[in-house]
C-alpha cells in the first residue's frame, strides 16, 4: 500500500480525492510507525487485520476503534500462546507463538495449529466494550528471528526504531553479512523527498545526509542493543514490493 501511495504521489495524484474512509491492512507484521506512514499517505485511519490461509484467510482477528489489540473471533477460533521452543502453554500477557484451533470449520478443521506468529494474548475486556480475546500486534514470525552476535532480533524491532527518526521514508532493508566470524548488520534506508530537496538534490556527502546517517545508527543501536552500520541510499534504490516486503538479505 505504501508503494501504491508513493506511486500515486509521483504521478500527481492526491489521496484526499480518493474518498478513502477506512483502511484494513494485513498479510505481514507492521508497526505503529507504518500505521502513521499509511495514515499520512492516505488520509484515513489504518486498522490491522489478521488471518492465514490454513485457518480461514483474512478474518481471524481485527482491530476495533480503540486499536488496543486485535479481537479474535473466538466463537470460531480458540487461541493459545505457547513457548515456541518447548510447546508449553503460556499465561495471559506472556509472549510466544500463536496456536489456533478451529471450532466451526467443517472442511479441513485445524487442531492446535502452530501459526509461527509471535504475539501475546489477553482476555481482559476492551475499552470498546467487547469481551473477546485479543492478540497484540504481531512482533514477527518465529522463523524471522535473527541471531546477530548473540542478540535475538526481529526486523519489526528495527522498523520501530527507524520510523521514529525524522527525514526517512518507510522503506528499508537489513543486510546481514555472515561471511566473517562475527555477523555484521547493515541498515539501508532512504531519505525523505523533503530532505533531498533541502539538500538541493541527492548528495551522499551532504552534511544533512551525514547527520541523518548518524542519527539512524544511534537510534537503532540504542533500541536493539547491537551496533549497526547505517547507510543512506539514493531515493528509490530499495526495491518496492508488490506483495510481502523483503526486509532481510543475508550474505553467507
C-alpha to C-alpha distance for 24 and 32, rounded to whole angstroms: 14
Q: What pLDDT does residue 73 have?
A: 95
Domain at 38, CATH number = 3.40.50.12780
When divided into structural domains, the chain yields a total of: 2
Q: What pLDDT does residue 155 have?
A: 85
Q: What pLDDT does residue 145 have?
A: 80
Q: What pLDDT does residue 117 have?
A: 92
- The conformation of residue 234, written as its DSSP 8-state character, comes to P
Assess whether 69 and 194 both reside in one domain: no
Assess whether 168 and 203 both reside in one domain: yes
Q: What pLDDT does residue 239 have?
A: 84
Q: Which of 116, 141, 166 is the last residue of a domain?
A: 141
Q: Which of 141, 160, 185 is the last residue of a domain?
A: 141
Structural domain for 170, as ranges: 145-251
Confidence bin at 131 (pLDDT 50/70/90): very high
Confidence bin at 243 (pLDDT 50/70/90): low
Assess whether 37 and 132 both reside in one domain: yes
Assess whether 74 and 154 both reside in one domain: no
Assess whether 190 and 228 both reside in one domain: yes
From residue 154, how far is each of 148, 224, 247 by CA, in Å?
Answer: 11, 9, 11
Assess whether 172 and 232 both reside in one domain: yes
pTM: 0.74
C-alpha to C-alpha distance for 102 and 60, rounded to whole angstroms: 10
Query: φ and ψ at 31, to 5 degrees?
Result: -100, 175
Assess whether 36 and 134 both reside in one domain: yes
Mind listing the pLDDT tens digit for each residue in 31-80? 888 899 899 999 999 999 999 999 988 899 999 999 999 999 999 999 99
Assess whether 13 and 122 both reside in one domain: yes
pLDDT above 80: residue 143 = no
Assess whether 89 and 200 both reside in one domain: no
The mean predicted confidence, pLDDT, of the chain is 90
Asked if residue 42 lies in contact with residue 5, where contact means CB atoms within 8 angstroms, the answer is yes
The alpha carbons of the chain give a radius of gyration, in whole angstroms, of 20
Mind listing the pLDDT tens digit for each residue in 72-121? 999 999 999 999 989 999 999 999 999 999 999 998 999 999 999 999 99
Closest CA to 176 of 231, 240, 234, 252: 252
Assess whether 50 and 90 both reside in one domain: yes
Q: Which of 141, 175, 196 is the last residue of a domain?
A: 141
Which stretches of the chain are DSSP H helices? 2-10, 32-42, 155-162, 193-198, 207-224
Mean pLDDT of 145-168: 85
Assess whether 15 and 106 both reside in one domain: yes
Assess whether 100 and 208 both reside in one domain: no
Amino acid at each position: 500500500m505504501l508503494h501504491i501511495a508513493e506511486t500515486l504521489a509521483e504521478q500527481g495524484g492526491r489521496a484526499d480525492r480518493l474518498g478513502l474512509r477506512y483502511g484494513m491492512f494485513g498479510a505481514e507484521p507492521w508497526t505503529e510507525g507504518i500505521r502513521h506512514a499509511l495514515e499520512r499517505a492516505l488520509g484515513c485511519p489504518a486498522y490491522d487485520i489478521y488471518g492465514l490461509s490454513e485457518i480461514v484467510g483474512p478474518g481471524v482477528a481485527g482491530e476495533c476503534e480503540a486499536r488496543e489489540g486485535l479481537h479474535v473471533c473466538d466463537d470460531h477460533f480458540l487461541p493459545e500462546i505457547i513457548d515456541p521452543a518447548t510447546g508449553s502453554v503460556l499465561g495471559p500477557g506472556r509472549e510466544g507463538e500463536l496456536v489456533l484451533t478451529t471450532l466451526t470449520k467443517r472442511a479441513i478443521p485445524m487442531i492446535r495449529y502452530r501459526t509461527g506468529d509471535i504475539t501475546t494474548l489477553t482476555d481482559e475486556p476492551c475499552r470498546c466494550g467487547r469481551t473477546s480475546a485479543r492478540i497484540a500486534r504481531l512482533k514477527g514470525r518465529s522463523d524471522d528471528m535473527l541471531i546477530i552476535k548473540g542478540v535475538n532480533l526481529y526486523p519489526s524491532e528495527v522498523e520501530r526504531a527507524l520510523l521514529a527518526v525524522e527525514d526517512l521514508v518507510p522503506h528499508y532493508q537489513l543486510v546481514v553479512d555472515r561471511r566473517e566470524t562475527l555477523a555484521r548488520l547493515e541498515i539501508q534506508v532512504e531519505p525523505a523527498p523533503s530532505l533531498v530537496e533541502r539538500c538541493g538534490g541527492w548528495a551522499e556527502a551532504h552534511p544533512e545526509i551525514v547527520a541523518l546517517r548518524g542519527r539512524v545508527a544511534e537510534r537503532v543501536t540504542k533500541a536493539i542493543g547491537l551496533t549497526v552500520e547505517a547507510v543512506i541510499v539514493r531515493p528509490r534504490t530499495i526495491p518496492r514490493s508488490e506483495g510481502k516486503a523483503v526486509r532481510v538479505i543475508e550474505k553467507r
